[in-house]
């Protein structure tokens, strides 16, 4: 049923009213556009940029098109200029602003429009019912614009997030591949990430149950491959460690040393080596193992086959003994080299009588001869035995776990 209003004491049909209002509003568009643009620029710092620049032109174009769309919409409410506000929402997302900035602009636009409606009420002697219809139309229209902008904003943010994450993964790979600094800087700028002076790389178990929402936003991550890892800008502070431990609480992770940006490949390599030792139960600090706590062990296991060769060479003089005899002498020699203790002290650690220690040491001296007096030989032997001892501890741990 047609809507009937009574401005100036006359009956106006819906189409007559719309035609009169749109004619009035069209005359107001240039000055209203100018006023809304000025109010937005004055009220929202993010839009206070040169009006002849790209931001200023985008703002003016958006206001002009939205107001022109309002005139069309008055006559045909199904003709909402969805394209305009949808693109404005996407524009805000691409500019990295929060949605409340655009929503504030809409509020300012609605308030400014309402003031103009009240001015038109006086200037054209519009009936109160007409003003009410016009005000209701204005605020309904602005709500529709805002709703469409929200949709555009959210879709753009989701797309940007996917693109940003892909870009940051590419940046992470460039960093651990030791790409030139200029290339890193270019990629970092494109994904809004500030290149730090130092970095720490953390390696995780494949398919680990990581609580990704607990990870800090400034981390670079590549968590879906067969060798997942992430990069922390700067050192592992107490807060960073706490964050990582919570995120990987149901799994394991190993953190490399903090290094200059161009040495990130070293941090990754050490973290992977440490994670391998964690997997072998040779070292274990809980959810997060720090390379900094296990430097000597990492060094000893840098080349495990080489350690085996050193041990085989240094202990070749004991090969003629039975396996049990050899095991006892190697164990005693290892404790003595590590502690340089007396027979009583070595015996306490091994749980044997001091006289047994003396007997074994005489056998060792007889087999190795002057080698024990040579510092280089003694060092090589101690290194090899320390690595073998750590490996044996890991085997005993595994055996205890199987028994449990």
**Do 25 and 148 reside in the same domain of the chain?**
yes
Q: Give the tens place of pLDDT for each residue, 279-334.
A: 888 888 889 999 999 988 888 777 778 777 877 888 888 888 888 888 888 888 88
- The CATH number that applies at residue 33 is 1.10.490
Angle (CA) 346-388-228 rounded to 5° is 135
Mention every residue, 6+ apart, whose C-beta is less than 8 A from residue 368.
317
Whether residues 149 and 202 share a domain: the answer is no
The contacts of residue 271 (CB under 8 Å, 6+ apart) are 201, 202, 203, 229, 254, 255, 256, 291
Taking all residues of the chain, what is their mean pLDDT, rounded to a whole number? 83
Q: For 49-89, what is each residue's pLDDT tens digit?
A: 776 666 677 788 888 888 888 888 877 766 665 577 888 88
Q: Please check whether residues 226 and 344 belong to one and the same domain.
A: no
294 and 316 together in one domain? no
382 and 372 in contact (C-beta within 8 Å)?
Answer: no
In the predicted model, is pLDDT for residue 404 greater than 90? no
Lowest mean pLDDT among 37-41, 48-52, 262-266, 395-399: 395-399
Could you tell me the CATH number of the domain that includes residue 200? 3.30.70
Tens digit of each residue's pLDDT (9 = 90 or more) over 345-379: 888 888 899 899 899 888 888 888 777 778 888 88
| For the chain, the helix, strand and coil percentages under 3-state DSSP, each to the nearest 5 | 70, 5, 25
Q: Is the pLDDT of residue 166 over 80?
A: yes
Is the residue at 125 inside a domain?
yes
How many domains is the chain built from? 3
Query: pLDDT at position 4, please?
Result: 35
Q: What is the pLDDT of residue 329?
A: 87
| pLDDT value for 228 | 92
Residue 170 is assigned to a structural domain of this protein: no
> pLDDT value at position 141?
85
* Alpha-carbon torsion angle 168, 174, 178, 181, nearest 10: -70
Tell me, yes or no, whether 272 lies in a domain: yes
Looking at the chain, the whole-number percentage of residues with pLDDT higher than 70 is 90
User: Quick one: pLDDT at residue 9?
Assistant: 36
Considering the domain architecture, whether residues 291 and 310 belong to the same structural domain is answered as no
Q: Do 289 and 312 share a domain, yes or no?
A: no
The domain of 250 spans: 196-300
Q: Say if residue 224 is in the same domain as residue 292.
A: yes
Same domain, 45 and 151: yes
Q: Cα angle at 204 between 201 and 206, to 5 degrees?
A: 140
> What is the four-CA torsion angle of 316, 322, 323, 324, rounded to 10 degrees?
-120
Which of 277, 300, 323 is a domain's end point? 300
pLDDT digit string (tens) for 180-228?
Answer: 999 999 999 998 899 999 999 999 998 878 888 788 989 999 988 788 9
Would the pLDDT of 403 be above 50?
Answer: no
Q: pLDDT at residue 266 above 50?
A: yes
Across the range 2-9, mean pLDDT stands at 37
Domain membership flag for residue 190: no
DSSP E strands, 153-298? 198-204, 220-222, 229-233, 253-255, 259-260, 288-290
- Residue 152 pLDDT > 60: yes
* Residues sharing a CB contact under 8 Å with residue 302, sequence separation 6 or more, in sequence order: 273
pLDDT for 3 beyond 60? no
- Ramachandran assignment for 230, one of left (phi > 0), alpha (psi -120 to 50 degrees), beta (any other): beta
My answer on whether 23 and 115 are in the same domain is yes
C-alpha to C-alpha distance for 218 and 232, rounded to whole angstroms: 8
Given a cut of 50, is residue 12 above it in pLDDT? Answer: no
- Looking at the predicted structure, is the pLDDT value of residue 35 above 70? yes
- Of 404 and 244, which is predicted with more confidence? 244
CA distances from 100 to 91, 96, 154, 209 (A): 13, 12, 12, 34
- Closest by CA to 131, choosing from 36, 17, 29, 30, is 17
Q: Is residue 1 part of a domain?
A: no
């Amino acid at each position: 049923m047609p809507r009937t209003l009574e401005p100036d004491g006359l009956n106006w049909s819906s189409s007559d009213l719309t035609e009169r209002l749109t004619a009035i509003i069209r005359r107001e568009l240039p000055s209203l556009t100018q006023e809304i643009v000025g109010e937005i620029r004055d009220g929202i710092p993010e839009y206070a940029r040169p009006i002849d620049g790209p931001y200023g032109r985008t703002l003016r174009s958006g206001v002009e098109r939205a107001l022109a769309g309002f005139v069309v919409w008055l006559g045909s409410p199904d003709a909402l200029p969805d394209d305009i506000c949808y693109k404005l929402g996407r524009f805000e997302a691409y500019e990295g602003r929060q949605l409340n900035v655009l929503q504030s602009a809409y509020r300012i636009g609605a308030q400014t429009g309402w003031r103009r409606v009240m001015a038109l009420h006086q200037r054209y002697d519009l009936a109160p019912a007409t003003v009410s219809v016009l005000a209701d139309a204005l605020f309904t229209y602005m709500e529709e614009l805002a709703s469409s902008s929200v949709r555009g904003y959210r879709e753009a943010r989701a797309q940007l997030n996917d693109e940003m994450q892909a870009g940051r993964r590419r940046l992470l790979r460039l960093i651990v591949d030791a790409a030139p600094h200029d290339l890193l800087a270019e990629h970092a700028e494109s994904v809004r990430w500030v290149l730090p002076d130092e970095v720490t790389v953390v390696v995780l178990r494949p398919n680990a149950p990581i609580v990704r929402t607990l990870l800090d936003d400034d981390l670079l991550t590549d968590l879906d491959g067969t060798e997942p890892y992430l990069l922390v800008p700067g050192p592992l502070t107490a807060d960073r460690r706490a964050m990582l431990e919570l995120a990987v609480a149901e799994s394991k992770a190993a953190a490399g040393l903090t290094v200059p940006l161009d040495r990130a490949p070293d941090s990754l390599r050490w973290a992977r080596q440490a994670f391998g030792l964690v997997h072998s139960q040779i070292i274990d600090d809980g959810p997060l193992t720090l390379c900094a706590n296990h430097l000597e062990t990492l060094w000893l296991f840098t080349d495990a086959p080489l350690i085996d060769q050193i041990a085989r060479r240094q202990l070749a003089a004991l090969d003629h003994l039975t396996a049990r005899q050899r095991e006892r002498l190697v164990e005693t020699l290892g404790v003595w080299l590590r502690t340089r203790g007396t027979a009583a002290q070595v015996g306490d650690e091994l749980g044997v009588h001091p006289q047994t220690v003396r007997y074994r040491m005489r056998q060792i001296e007889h087999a190795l001869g002057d080698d024990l007096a040579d510092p280089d030989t003694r060092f090589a032997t101690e290194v090899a035995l320390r690595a073998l001892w750590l490996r044996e501890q890991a085997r005993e741990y595994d055996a205890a776990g199987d028994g449990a």
